[in-house]
């Protein structure tokens, strides 16, 4: 192991380098510093590991030098050469180096894939932004229309989702039928294996068959849910219509998730920077390595003083080499504990920010519900008034509720960490107990999130502390358990359908645009290595935007429902 300024750029053996002073001077830049004894026999130099036996054209990757393997017109080359001299006067093919660099080659292919994806982002980023703006406009339009035509819009939304899924099934069938008889289209996914060029999978009939089966299953599931919940949907429509009126009076609430998003970004940035500082605070640790028996083997050493220490006298073949990054001080031993504490604070901060947003929205919508004459009795700035009340009176309650949830989340992370560490151990009892604990704490986290949400609504309405609000909310929900179960899930399902409609329509539009299937803008669409890169980005971004808008709506429905129950 040796650190160098640059990676080698040529094939060269130590024996051939000794015959040329210029080559030898270049070769010594890859030898151990201080090895300048020209009288030493080449065999002894190699035996003492002062210089490598051979140099290979290499490329830097992750601060390491890997063989510069590349393919040109189907021919494997290393450093623009197809053969190399092995130092014994024999020319060998560079393909013999592939076995030794197999794992490095996978990393290089992944790097090339990442570079192509980055290139696609550089030429399509503005179109991605336009797609996200369209998603924002579609979500806003949907909510505005819902204010006036709640019942009609819900049923239209349900029909549109069914039609979108139906079109997806039809499109998959057409692609499946089009590939019939084409060469190589009947190859199975298992026989093909993993390919870095994902477009290869779209030329297989089995891929489109799988897509069609998945979409058909979703279509059947949506139809069954509609049949069983048709009466409850009418009840949910009444709640949504009232929530539409509330949001119509407090339109600023739709932009409030942006503030929550910015605060979450600050929390993530603080956690990530702290985690990086902790993980990079390690020091280089050097250990004694030797081939013969040595009492100092495996002990820490210092490269600066190693040659003058007793180790070299007792163990002549011992070397002080870099082992790993870490440390042996008390601070370094407790780095994992510090990382867990940093993660705990991250969960606490994130939960506090989300709780602040929920209390603010609940306070604004509760002021609408309890206003005797609407809109005259509604405060001038209900959102800002609720935000001020939350910061001034309820910070401790929010922090306490967030703390409980953060503790459960950290316990879940610790259980996942233990599960990862025990994977190698063949202890079925331990794995069973860990599985049970993970399941129990997952359920506990879901329950606490549900209880906290309703407790925050009671805090916004009455101003009571967290424990009192949680108790009152729980008892109120238990007295209306059937209404809670039906209305909550029906409204969640309707909001999910709304997200599906927004994401599906924008995703289909992005697919036709980036695959040059819209004739009007066929020349405008950029040429891409992988057209799925901007399409997936638009789909994910559209979902996040729709989720932000509908989360406000969901909070409004929950607040009005609790107020109605009270």
Residue by residue, DSSP assigns 75-93 as EEEETTBSEEE-SSS-EEE
Adjacent-strand bridge partners of 377: none
The one-character DSSP state at 32 is P
pLDDT at residue 267 in the model: 92
Q: Report the distance separating Cα 185 and Cα 188, nearest Å.
A: 8
**Do 507 and 546 form a contact (C-beta atoms < 8 A)?**
no
pLDDT at residue 37 in the model: 64
The domain locations on the chain are: 12-90, 120-147+258-269+343-565, 284-325
Give phi and psi for 300, each to the nearest 5: -70, 150
Tokens of 175: 């692609």
pLDDT at residue 365 in the model: 92
pLDDT at residue 327 in the model: 72
Angle at 502 between CA 500 and CA 508, to 5 degrees: 90
Tokens of 22: 């210029």
**Do 532 and 113 form a contact (C-beta atoms < 8 A)?**
no
Tokens of 478: 């238990």
Beta-strand (E) ranges in 40-110?
54-55, 58-61, 64-67, 69-72, 75-78, 83-85, 91-93
pLDDT at residue 517 in the model: 76
Q: Strand 58-61 vs strand 64-67: parallel, antiparallel, or unpaired? A: antiparallel
Angle at 286 between CA 285 and CA 289, to 5 degrees: 145
The whole-angstrom distance between residue 488's C-alpha and the CA centroid of its chain comes to 29
Peptide bond into 305 cis (omega under 30): no
Q: Strand 75-78 vs strand 319-326: parallel, antiparallel, or unpaired? A: unpaired
Q: Report the distance separating Cα 564 and Cα 355, nearest Å.
A: 22
Q: Report the distance separating Cα 223 and Cα 231, nearest Å.
A: 14
pLDDT at residue 100 in the model: 62
**What's the whole-model pTM score?**
0.64
The one-character DSSP state at 56 is -
pLDDT at residue 515 in the model: 80
Q: Tens place of pLDDT for every residue, the chain, 566 residues?
A: 788 888 998 888 888 888 888 888 888 888 887 666 667 788 888 877 788 888 888 888 777 887 777 777 767 777 777 787 777 777 777 777 776 666 666 666 777 778 888 888 888 888 888 888 888 888 888 777 777 777 777 777 778 888 888 888 888 888 888 877 777 677 776 666 766 666 777 777 777 888 888 889 988 988 887 787 777 777 777 877 888 888 888 888 888 888 888 999 999 999 999 998 888 887 778 888 877 777 778 788 877 777 777 777 778 778 888 777 777 677 777 888 898 899 999 999 999 999 999 999 999 999 998 888 887 888 888 889 999 999 999 999 999 999 999 999 999 988 888 888 777 667 778 888 888 999 999 999 999 999 999 999 999 999 999 999 999 999 998 887 777 776 776 677 777 777 888 888 888 888 888 887 777 777 777 777 787 888 888 888 888 888 888 888 888 988 988 888 88
Q: Which residues of 354-388 are buried (b: 16+ CB within 10 A; e: fewer)?
A: bbbbbbbbbbbbbbbbeeeeeeeebbeebbeebbe
Adjacent-strand bridge partners of 325: 284
Three-class SS state of 13:
strand
């Amino acid at each position: 192991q040796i650190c160098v300024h640059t990676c080698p750029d040529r094939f060269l053996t130590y024996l051939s380098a000794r015959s040329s002073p210029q080559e030898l001077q270049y070769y010594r830049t890859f030898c151990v510093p201080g090895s300048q004894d020209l009288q030493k026999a080449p065999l002894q130099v190699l035996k003492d590991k002062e210089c490598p036996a051979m140099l290979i054209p290499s490329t830097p990757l992750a601060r390491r030098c890997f063989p510069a393997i590349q393919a040109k017109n189907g021919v494997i080359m290393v450093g623009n050469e197809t053969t190399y001299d092995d130092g014994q006067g024999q020319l060998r093919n560079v393909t013999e180096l592939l076995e030794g660099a197999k794992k490095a080659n996978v990393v290089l292919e992944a790097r090339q894939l990442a570079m192509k994806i980055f290139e696609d982002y550089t030429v399509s980023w503005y179109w991605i932004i336009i797609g996200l703006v369209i998603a924002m406009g579609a979500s806003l339009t949907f909510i505005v229309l819902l204010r006036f035509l709640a019942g009609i819009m819900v049923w239209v939304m349900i029909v549109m989702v069914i039609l979108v899924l139906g079109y997806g099934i039809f499109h998959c069938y057409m692609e499946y039928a089009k590939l019939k008889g084409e060469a190589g289209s009947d190859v199975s996914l298992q026989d093909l294996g993993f390919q870095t060029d994902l477009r290869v999978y779209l030329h297989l009939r089995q891929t489109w068959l799988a897509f069609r089966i998945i979409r058909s299953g979703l279509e059947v599931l949506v139809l069954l849910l509609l049949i069983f919940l048709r009466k409850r949907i009418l009840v949910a429509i009444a709640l949504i219509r009232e929530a539409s009126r509330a949001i119509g009076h407090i339109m600023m609430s739709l932009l409030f998730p942006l503030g929550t998003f910015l605060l979450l970004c600050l929390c993530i940035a603080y956690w990530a920077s702290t985690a990086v500082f902790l993980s990079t605070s390690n020091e280089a640790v050097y250990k004694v390595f030797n081939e013969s028996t040595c009492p100092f083997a495996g002990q820490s050493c210092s490269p600066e003083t190693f040659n003058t220490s007793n180790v070299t006298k007792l163990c002549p073949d011992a070397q002080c080499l870099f082992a790993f990054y870490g440390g042996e001080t008390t601070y370094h031993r407790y780095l994992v504990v510090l990382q867990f504490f940093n993660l705990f604070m991250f969960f606490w901060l994130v939960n506090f920010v989300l709780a602040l947003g929920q209390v603010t929205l609940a306070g604004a919508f509760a002021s609408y519900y309890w206003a005797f004459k609407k809109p005259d009795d509604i405060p001038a700035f209900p959102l800002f008034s609720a935000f001020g009340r939350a910061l001034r009176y309820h910070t401790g309650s929010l922090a306490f509720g967030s703390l409980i949830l953060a503790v459960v989340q950290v316990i879940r992370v610790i259980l996942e960490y233990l599960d990862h560490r025990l994977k190698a151990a063949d202890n079925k009892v331990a794995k069973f107990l860990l599985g049970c604990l993970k399941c129990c704490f997952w359920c506990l986290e879901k329950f606490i999130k549900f209880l906290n949400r309703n407790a925050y609504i009671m805090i916004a309405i009455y101003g009571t502390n967290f424990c009192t609000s949680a108790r009152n909310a729980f008892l109120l929900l238990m007295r209306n358990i059937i209404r809670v179960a039906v209305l909550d899930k029906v409204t969640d399902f309707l909001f999910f359908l709304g997200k599906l409609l927004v994401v599906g329509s924008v995703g289909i539009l992005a697919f036709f645009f980036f695959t040059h299937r819209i004739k009007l803008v066929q020349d405008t669409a950029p040429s891409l290595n992988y057209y799925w890169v901007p399409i997936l980005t638009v789909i994910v971004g559209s979902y996040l935007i729709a989720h932000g808008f509908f989360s406000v709506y969901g909070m409004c429905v929950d607040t009005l429902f609790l107020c109605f129950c009270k």
